[in-house]
Amino acid sequence: MNPLLGAPYPSHAVSDAEPAYDYAKTLFSDATFLNYPQRGRCIRIAEGRVSYILAFSGIVGGYETDAHGRYDGPLPLGITVSDTLTAVTAWLGPPDDGGALAGAPVPSQWIIYRRLGLSFDFVGATGQLISVGVLVPKP
């Protein structure tokens, strides 16, 4: 996942990583999201480059209305989509920031490790992973 960060779009790096047959392109004023629900992945394009990649566990949570497929590719630092909030914080230590989405249809808890370029969203009641975000690390 990390080699795609910063890759120009459109480019072969992005199209080779994800065949186009299964994506839905969503446009916002500041970014384009390439959603691959069957593959459990979403790529954010901003200013012509890949700026953020989300990998989903296949569990519905937060504001997601449909389950994405389960991402089966490698994740940074040995993290897996089967990890829990307890496992992630034991492995990576205290997060830089976090919060709760108590009003979401499936209440969730998010944490972020800016220095590592990782964000996580977990089901609030169970600690199950909903998604992992990979972004450019910030010191």
The ranges assigned to domains in the chain are 2-135
Tell me the two tokens of residue 107.
């209440």
Fold type of domain 2-135: Pathogenesis-related Protein p14a (3.40.33)
pTM: 0.83
Mean pLDDT score of the chain, rounded to an integer?
A: 84
Whether residue 25 has pLDDT greater than 90 = no
What pLDDT score does 1 carry?
Answer: 53
Distance between CA atoms of residues 58 and 94, nearest Å:
25
